[in-house]
Amino acid sequence: MKDIRNIVILSGAGISAESGIDTFRSEGGLWERHRVEDVATPEAFARDPDLVLRFYDMRRAAIQTKEPNAAHLALARLDAEWPGELLIVTQNVDNLHERAGAERVLHMHGEHLLAWCTACDTRSPWTGTLIERPPCPVCGERALRPDVVWFGEMPYRMDEIYAALREADLFVSIGTSGAVYPAAGFVRNAREMGAHTLELNLEPSKGTRWFEEARHGPATQIVPAWVDEVLSAAS
Ligand code: APR
């Protein structure tokens, strides 16, 4: 740990599972109950906007009733106390990292609590519903959509993410199945650039073989234990 200065953490749905937010691909997960093609593509939104808006309105309402768990809190502590560079790249569209107190967070798949106006291209904080086609607070057009990256769309801030991966000494993937690219490829990018790679997940992910080290168990147990280890080794 003495040689480690720059840390990049990739988080996925598994870190929020114990807060009561559904994952996508576990048994009974979201993509078992809804077809991706019906609710999470630009084509679906063009074909049946009411269905898509209703789906995201429900998800937006649901996340606001959830609380950060011990894994989010441990990462927030790491963010506050780690003296070197640190970036939490999350695929999650909930705000539990921020509500736990983390500041260095990048949402590569967007955020439930923002609405994107496709008329004026601004993002506005949004906690309510979009189904009734409210006007954009900036331009007044009724052209708001969830600010969530759908399948077939480009994830956000990729340049910043690749720059951080290039500089990383340690890459840690937490609670993600490794099924969705480009995030699933980050471990290889980081490793090629010389970072140590660690997986923290309930079970071996699809990409587990790419990691030099893996620890399996519930995020609320293995993440705080790992953060304690990192901070005490660094002090
Ligand atoms: N602790 C740790 N890991 C857990 C826990 C837990 N309590 N519960 C579940 N997991 C693990 C599962 O074993 C699984 O490997 O979290 C992972 C969740 O995988 P997915 O449901 O596929 O979620 P994620 O990897 O974040 O999905 C990536 O897919 O549909 C898109 O845009 C969506 O951002 C999402 C992307």
CA dist list (Å): 145 to 38, 51, 120, 122: 15, 12, 12, 11
- Determine the distance separating the centroid of ligand 1 and the alpha carbon of 221, expressed in angstroms: 16
Inter-residue contact 164 to 5 (CB < 8 Å): no
The 10s digit of each residue's pLDDT in 28-52 is 888 888 888 889 999 999 999 999 9
Collapsed DSSP state (helix, strand, coil) of residue 211: coil
Whether the predicted model's global pTM rises above the 0.95 cut: yes
The 10s digit of each residue's pLDDT in 107-163 is 999 999 999 999 999 999 999 999 999 999 999 999 999 999 999 999 999 999 999
Per-residue pLDDT, 234? 87
25/132: higher pLDDT: 132
Per-residue pLDDT, 98? 98
CA dist list (Å): 14 to 23, 61, 100, 199: 6, 19, 16, 12
* pLDDT for residue 26 is more than 90: no
Distance CA 66, CA 96 (A): 8
| Nearest CA, atom 11, ligand 1 | 14
149/26: higher pLDDT: 149
Distance CA 9, CA 7 (A): 6
- Determine the distance separating the centroid of ligand 1 and the alpha carbon of 23, expressed in angstroms: 5
Residues facing 125 on adjacent strands: 114
| DSSP secondary structure code for residue 104 in this structure | S
Ligand 1 contact via 173 beta carbon (within 6 Å): no
| Nearest CA, atom 16, ligand 1 | 14
The 10s digit of each residue's pLDDT in 214-230 is 999 999 999 999 999 99
Quick one: how far is CA 38 from the chain centroid?
A: 22
Distance CA 87, CA 77 (A): 13
Ligand 1 contact via 109 beta carbon (within 6 Å): yes
| Nearest CA, atom 5, ligand 1 | 14
Residues with catalytic annotation? 109
Per-residue pLDDT, 200? 98
Ligand 1 contact via 203 beta carbon (within 6 Å): yes
- Determine the distance separating the centroid of ligand 1 and the alpha carbon of 141, expressed in angstroms: 35
Element (H, E) at 222: helix 219-234
